[in-house]
Structure 1
Amino acid sequence: MTVTALCHGEGCRGGRGDGRTRRRTLQGSRLCRACRDHFAAGLGELAHLYEECGRMLGGGAPGSLRERTTGGELPGLPFNTAAADVRSRMVSVLGSWSGLVAQQRGVTSPPRTVAALTAFLLRNADWLAAHSAAAEATEEIARLVRAGRRAAFPDPARAVRIGVCPEPGCPGGLALAVREAARADGPAIVCDAAAEHRWTSDRWSELSHCMESADPAGTAPAATATERWLTAADIARLWHAPTGTVYRLASEERWRRRNRAGRTYYSETDVRACFSRRAARG
């Protein structure tokens, strides 16, 4: 397609202060291809984040506080107010944009559920990308995604144990330092025995093969000797993929999964094989 003006997307407009150049739009759109794809990915992720936040409503977040009342705790009360607030905002914001599309396009509004609203907006993503409010739409969806991630995965400082250190003679274990993994160039994978054994998360596929070679007899702790289990957020950080893509692949590829304390964990072997096939296809 022919390119025209400067992109109005949240990604381009938000990058002006750090020296990044705003990209040019696709013909007939107010967004560049990257911002348009990011907008669609955000919409796709919101439906999954809504469900993840729903699992937090019982106050299961680490360190969450439950209000005490003289009559005891009320059955079914959503103690995790952050998760409840984000879910409410998702319905409100997505409903508002869906109402705009339905009114101006003369189509029927979708049911007021996050799954239906996001599916409707995805079908109309190109129309919204060309609308005069495209900038506001991308900004609001990006804010919702960030808020949803914070509410659904509220412990950014945690470390996820992922196996034995592959360095020869090192007795340590590796962990994904989630706070560092959020930074593009952070030393996200660290050894608990040697501070100098640190890797960025984009080397995970290489490291995971080395870890198998480093522990051929299965001497690692039981939780990591035979299979590693990762959350969708962990997979997204390790393989630099949108969380929405992780959920989609988990369903399409039928990754093995386990549920623990209301959270879903996926087989690292299945995940790695899937992303290896995708990389081989280019």
Structure 2
Amino acid sequence: MAGTVLCHGEGCRSGGAGHTRQRTAGGTRLCHRCRDHFTAGLVELAHLYEECGRVLGGGAPGSMRERTTGGELPGLPFNGAAADVRSRMVSVLGSWSGLVAQQRGLVPPPRTVAALTAFLLRNADWLAGHTAAAEATQEIARLVRAGRRAAFPDPARTVRLGACPEPHCAGSLALAVRSRTPDENPAVVCDADPAHRWTSERWSELSHVMDSADPARPSAADRPTTERWLSGSDIARLWHVPTGTVYRLASEERWRRRKAAGRTYYSETDVRTCFSARAARG
């Protein structure tokens, strides 16, 4: 399928002021960036589907809530938004998978979000060259936005990051996260002294300082490492990358992980090492 000269993907179509529509990659109708955003959105949808399921089950979105014995409390309100977006995910992903299967002569996947997203990822290059590629990127982007709103309905939450590295300060650092209207540059702020404040772009540098800031600790060679653990969405905000990219890198780079209250958290050391290496490569 012949590609167009200029990209019509969601990123180029809805780009903000100063955004220049990119040329398409060879043989497709999308530029490299819009194609990457499309595949990252598919990866994120699989996780958002599970997050919306947790909201339906009464789970606290984005939290480290401890599990309780005896099951969930009775009388939890039904979350219509989460149920609706899960249904739309199956419908939209199933529709695009059906198109691919029909036109490529493939066996359609089971109608589960995990199977549908995996199928579309395997056929992403073919779909990027299809005449409906622009519509596919738009629908997936809308689904991702709706999934985020349903999975993380609280307008703000706090991500605790560790002790403030400023001398003689007993405070702790936290990142204020707004899920519906995320800040362009969220700040890392000390709860004891608001003047102790850093932009999130400095997190890699700051986390190194935090590791060695406390003079009461044993030397680095003698003390056990205190690991910080971050969720996928926290990593995306701290390093300013799509959440789908986070999950892809976590798999490719085999970041250490652990689960708490049904959510997956990744080793901050592994994440920092990965992004530092990417930055060095340019």
User: Which bracket does the TM-score occupy, shorter chain normalised?
Assistant: 0.7 to 0.9
Q: 1:168 maps to what in 2?
A: 167
Q: 2:209 maps to what in 1?
A: 210
Return 5+ residue gaps in structure 2 as ranges: 62-71, 219-224
Q: 1:113 maps to what in 2?
A: 112
Q: 2:192 maps to what in 1?
A: 193
The residue identity in structure 2 corresponding to 1:269 is T
Q: Is the 8 A contact 2:153 2:180 kept in 1?
A: no
Q: Deviations over 1:52-82 (max 9, x none)?
A: 22222212246xxxxxxxxxx9999983332
Q: Deviations over 1:136-157 (max 9, x none)?
A: 1101101111222222233341
Q: 1:79 maps to what in 2?
A: 78
1:80-95 aligned at under 5 Å gives the runs: 80-95=79-94
Identify if the C-alpha distance between structure 1 residues 188 and 156 changes in structure 2 by more than 3 Å, giving closer, same or farther.
Answer: farther
Distance (whole Å) between structure 1 residues aligned to residue 36 and residue 279 of structure 2: 19
Larger mean CA deviation between 203-212 and 122-131 belongs to 122-131
TM-score using structure 1 length: 0.81
Q: Is the 8 A contact 1:4 1:27 kept in 2?
A: no
Distance (whole Å) between structure 1 residues aligned to residue 7 and residue 274 of structure 2: 33
Q: Deviations over 1:97-123 (max 9, x none)?
A: 111112222222111111211121112
Q: Deviations over 1:184-205 (max 9, x none)?
A: 7424211223333322212111
1:267: how far off? 2.9
Q: Secondary structure at the residue paired with 1:176? A: strand
1:48-197 aligned at under 5 Å gives the runs: 48-61=47-60, 79-179=78-178, 183=182, 185-197=184-196
Q: 1:235 maps to what in 2?
A: 235
The residue identity in structure 2 corresponding to 1:49 is L
Larger mean CA deviation between 146-155 and 180-189 belongs to 180-189
Distance (whole Å) between structure 1 residues aligned to residue 113 and residue 12 of structure 2: 27
Identify if the C-alpha distance between structure 1 residues 130 and 124 changes in structure 2 by more than 3 Å, giving closer, same or farther.
Answer: same
Q: Secondary structure at the residue paired with 1:24? A: coil
Q: Is the 8 A contact 1:180 1:187 kept in 2?
A: no
State the identity %. Answer: 80
Distance (whole Å) between structure 2 residues aligned to residue 130 and residue 75 of structure 1: 50
Distance (whole Å) between structure 1 residues aligned to residue 37 and residue 136 of structure 2: 12
Structure with the larger RCO, 1 or 2 (CA within 8 Å, 6+ apart): 2
Identify if the C-alpha distance between structure 1 residues 201 and 159 changes in structure 2 by more than 3 Å, giving closer, same or farther.
Answer: same
TM-score using structure 2 length: 0.81
Q: Is the 8 A contact 1:187 1:200 kept in 2?
A: yes
The residue identity in structure 2 corresponding to 1:262 is G
1:3-82 aligned at under 5 Å gives the runs: 5-15=5-15, 18-61=17-60, 79-82=78-81
Distance (whole Å) between structure 2 residues aligned to residue 260 and residue 176 of structure 1: 19
Identify if the C-alpha distance between structure 1 residues 13 and 120 changes in structure 2 by more than 3 Å, giving closer, same or farther.
Answer: same
The count of residues paired between Structure 1 and Structure 2 equals 265
1:10: how far off? 0.4
RMSD of aligned C-alpha atoms? 3.1
